[in-house]
């Protein structure tokens, strides 16, 4: 499908009509002159008129009018007494020549108008088809921005079509089809707030802008539809995340709360006398439960900062040994951690607070899901937390389940997000013999 250009016959048809007139009329005149004695005067007049009509059919009005005048001169010179002179002796011959010329011009005008009407009808049909395509593109399977741009390219024979978006005062290509070619003309049409439809290819005419504007509106609709779909998907994801968070956090809150409540209830019993060792154990249970609650609340706050993009990173040289020591403060089960991080390791350029949260979450995850001793090993620019529990192929999404024992998955998610914010990488690998090794790599 393509939209035709200006109505009327194209230039090559007009040149062909001129050639028919320049060559055909002299040849026809020569043939008639040879038979002049056997012909009446009306015969050459009608045949020359027929030749002019042929010129009009081939090339339209422009070559037909000069051919009509030239044919009249040939009739006057070769067939109207006195012969071989451009004069007319008899009034009836003058009338015949006048009628011939009027008929020739009139027929040429009619033929040219018919050609223009035909071209206009073809253009209107193509335009209607193009507008129908626009309507279909906004509703059907091609209701995507690349699909609409491809239809614009086909409709106008364009070499390159692009949707431009205004970003920071500059127009940036949002989507495109085809490639620019040298010598192409460009047409720009507004396609909604901050958007422009660019068409590069053959020159477009004024009547093409109506179809192009319709395509621009369709492209703007597709762009707005994509934006709304992304917003809907984001809202749906946030809703699912909120639902999962409430369920998962509720699960993780119940365990330490239940332990703390049981310990407090036991201490408050008046009919039981607790030994100092038993009292210390109950108090330790309460302390561990509150530590876990504090860690969960901190992780929730960190997750909200990650999701909101509100992290503030202040880089400074920090030693691995200092970070590990602060990260283990208050961690339940820290007596199961073996630390092999020399204070002679070169410092890394990082945010000490964020890196401390990374290490604390990784060690806490290893303690909760690993068996036995958790090893923390340092190397230049790298820290490994090694456990011997169940393995894992990738860092889980928050609230999506944390390894085989359940949980909200916040710790590892935050560790990964903070590590990436610090310009580092977090890689999970299998521990030989079973378990998980988390490796934090940061620039020195």
Specify the CATH number for the domain of residue 274: 1.10.287.130
- 237 pLDDT more than 90: no
Distance CA 263, CA 277 (A): 14
Q: Determine the pLDDT at residue 138.
A: 52
Q: Determine the pLDDT at residue 401.
A: 45
- 141 pLDDT more than 60: no
Residues 22 and 118 in one domain: yes
Distance CA 105, CA 274 (A): 125
Where is the domain boundary, 305, 327, 349? 305
- 341 pLDDT more than 90: yes
CATH at residue 399? 3.30.565.10
Q: Determine the pLDDT at residue 163.
A: 82
Q: Determine the pLDDT at residue 390.
A: 66
Going by pLDDT thresholds of 50, 70 and 90, the confidence category of residue 382 is very high
- Percent of the chain at pLDDT exceeding 90: 11
pTM surpassing 0.85? no
- 331 pLDDT more than 50: yes
Going by pLDDT thresholds of 50, 70 and 90, the confidence category of residue 386 is very high
Going by pLDDT thresholds of 50, 70 and 90, the confidence category of residue 364 is confident
Residues 207 and 85 in one domain: no
Q: Determine the pLDDT at residue 314.
A: 85
Domain that holds residue 206: 145-233
Residues 319 and 296 in one domain: no
User: How many other C-beta atoms lie within 10 A of the C-beta of residue 347?
Assistant: 17
Q: If you average pLDDT over every residue of the chain, what do you get?
A: 79
Residues 335 and 428 in one domain: yes
Going by pLDDT thresholds of 50, 70 and 90, the confidence category of residue 35 is confident
**Higher pLDDT, residue 61 or 336:** 336
Going by pLDDT thresholds of 50, 70 and 90, the confidence category of residue 319 is very high
- 142 pLDDT more than 60: no
Residues 318 and 364 in one domain: yes
Residues 428 and 318 in one domain: yes
At 87, list the tokens: 């004069």
Ranges of beta strands (E only) in 138-266 are 160-167, 170-178, 185-190, 195-201
Residues 255 and 338 in one domain: no
Residues 19 and 93 in one domain: yes
Residues 261 and 227 in one domain: no
Residues 314 and 418 in one domain: yes
Three-state SS for 368? helix
Instruction: Tell me if 138 is assigned to some domain.
Output: no
Rounded to 10 degrees, what is the CA torsion of 332, 335, 340, 346? 40
Where is the domain boundary, 209, 233, 257? 233
Instruction: Tell me if 132 is assigned to some domain.
Output: no
Distance of CA 153 to the CA centre of its chain: 16
Q: Determine the pLDDT at residue 318.
A: 92
Where is the domain boundary, 259, 280, 305? 305
Phi, psi of 271 (to 5 degrees): -95, 5
Instruction: Tell me if 48 is assigned to some domain.
Output: yes
- 377 pLDDT more than 90: yes
Please state, in angstroms and as integers, the Cα–Cα distance from residue 222 to each residue in 1, 146, 236, 291, following that order: 21, 9, 20, 51
Residues 57 and 159 in one domain: no
Q: Determine the pLDDT at residue 317.
A: 92
Crossing angle for the helix pair 91-139 and 208-268, to the nearest 10 degrees: 0
In this structure, of 23-37, 171-185, 371-385, 402-416, the range with the lowest mean pLDDT score is: 402-416
Phi, psi of 440 (to 5 degrees): -100, 125
Going by pLDDT thresholds of 50, 70 and 90, the confidence category of residue 9 is low
Instruction: Tell me if 130 is assigned to some domain.
Output: no
In this structure, of 213-227, 376-390, 416-430, the range with the lowest mean pLDDT score is: 213-227
Distance CA 13, CA 429 (A): 75
CATH at residue 176? 3.30.450.40
Instruction: Tell me if 417 is assigned to some domain.
Output: yes
- 4 pLDDT more than 50: no
Crossing angle for the helix pair 91-139 and 42-59, to the nearest 10 degrees: 20
User: How many other C-beta atoms lie within 10 A of the C-beta of residue 212?
Assistant: 21
- 124 pLDDT more than 70: no
Q: What value does the mean pLDDT take over residues 151-176?
A: 81
How does pLDDT run across 53-68, given as a tens digit for each residue?
888 888 878 888 888 8
Residues 229 and 116 in one domain: no
- 396 pLDDT more than 60: no
Crossing angle for the helix pair 410-421 and 352-369, to the nearest 10 degrees: 150
Instruction: Tell me if 169 is assigned to some domain.
Output: yes
Q: Determine the pLDDT at residue 325.
A: 92
Instruction: Tell me if 129 is assigned to some domain.
Output: no
**Higher pLDDT, residue 347 or 248:** 347
How does pLDDT run across 410-436, given as a tens digit for each residue?
778 788 888 888 889 999 998 888 888
Burial of 409 (0-12, 13-18, 19+ CB in 10 A): buried
Please state, in angstroms and as integers, the Cα–Cα distance from residue 331 to each residue in 25, 171, 222, 405, 409, following that order: 107, 52, 52, 19, 17
Q: What value does the mean pLDDT take over residues 124-141?
A: 58
Instruction: Tell me if 69 is assigned to some domain.
Output: yes
Q: What value does the mean pLDDT take over residues 165-183?
A: 81
At 191, list the tokens: 């396609």
The DSSP line for 12-61 is: HHHHHHHHHHHHHHHHHHHHHHHTGGGS-THHHHHHHHHHHHHHHHHH-H
Q: What value does the mean pLDDT take over residues 297-320?
A: 78
Q: Determine the pLDDT at residue 1.
A: 45
Phi, psi of 59 (to 5 degrees): -115, -5
User: How many other C-beta atoms lie within 10 A of the C-beta of residue 277?
Assistant: 8
Considering its fold, how many domains does the chain have in total? Answer: 4
The partner residues of 378 in beta bridges, in order of sequence, read: 383
Burial of 368 (0-12, 13-18, 19+ CB in 10 A): middle
Distance CA 178, CA 150 (A): 8
């Amino acid at each position: 499908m393509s939209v035709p250009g200006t109505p009327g016959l194209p230039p090559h048809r007009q040149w062909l009509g001129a050639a028919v007139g320049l060559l055909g009329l002299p040849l026809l005149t020569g043939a008639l002159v040879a038979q002049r004695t056997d012909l009446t005067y009306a015969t050459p007049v009608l045949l020359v008129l027929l030749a002019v009509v042929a010129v009009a059919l081939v090339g339209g009005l422009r070559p037909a009018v000069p051919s009509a005048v030239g044919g009249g001169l040939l009739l006057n010179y070769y067939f109207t007494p006195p012969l071989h002179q451009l004069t007319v002796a008899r009034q009836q011959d003058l009338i015949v020549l006048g009628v011939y010329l009027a008929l020739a011009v009139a027929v040429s005008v009619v033929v040219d108008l018919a050609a223009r009407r035909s071209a206009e009808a073809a253009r209107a049909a193509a335009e209607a088809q193009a507008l129908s395509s626009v309507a279909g593109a906004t509703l059907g399977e091609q209701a995507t921005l690349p699909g609409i741009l491809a239809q614009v390219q086909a409709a106008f024979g364009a070499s390159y079509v692009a949707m431009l978006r205004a970003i920071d005062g500059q127009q940036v290509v949002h989507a495109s089809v085809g490639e620019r070619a040298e010598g192409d003309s460009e047409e720009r049409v507004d396609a909604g707030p901050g958007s422009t439809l660019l068409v590069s290819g053959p020159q477009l005419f004024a009547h093409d802008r109506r179809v192009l504007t319709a395509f621009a509106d369709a492209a703007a609709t597709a762009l707005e539809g994509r934006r709304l779909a992304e917003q809907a998907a984001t809202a749906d994801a946030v809703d699912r995340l909120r639902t999962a968070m409430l369920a998962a956090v509720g699960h993780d809150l119940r365990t330490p709360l239940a332990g703390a409540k049981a310990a407090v209830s036991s201490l408050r019993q008046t009919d039981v006398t607790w030994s100092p060792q038993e009292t210390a154990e109950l108090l330790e249970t309460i302390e561990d439960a509150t530590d876990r609650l504090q860690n969960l609340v901190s992780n929730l706050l960190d997750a909200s900062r990650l999701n909101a993009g509100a992290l503030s990173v202040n880089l400074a040289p920090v030693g691995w040994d200092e970070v590990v020591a602060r990260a283990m403060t208050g961690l339940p089960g820290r007596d199961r951690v073996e630390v092999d991080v020399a204070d002679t390791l070169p410092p890394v350029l990082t945010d000490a607070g964020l890196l401390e949260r990374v290490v604390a979450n990784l060690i806490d995850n290893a303690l909760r899901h690993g068996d036995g001793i958790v090893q923390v090993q340092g190397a230049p620019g790298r820290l490994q937390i090694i456990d011997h529990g169940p393995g894992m192929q990738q860092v889980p999404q928050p609230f999506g389940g944390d390894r085989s024992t359940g949980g909200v998955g916040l710790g590892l998610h935050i560790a990964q997000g903070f590590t990436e914010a610090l310009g580092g990488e977090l890689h999970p690998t299998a521990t030989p013999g079973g378990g998980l090794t988390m490796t934090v790599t940061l620039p020195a």
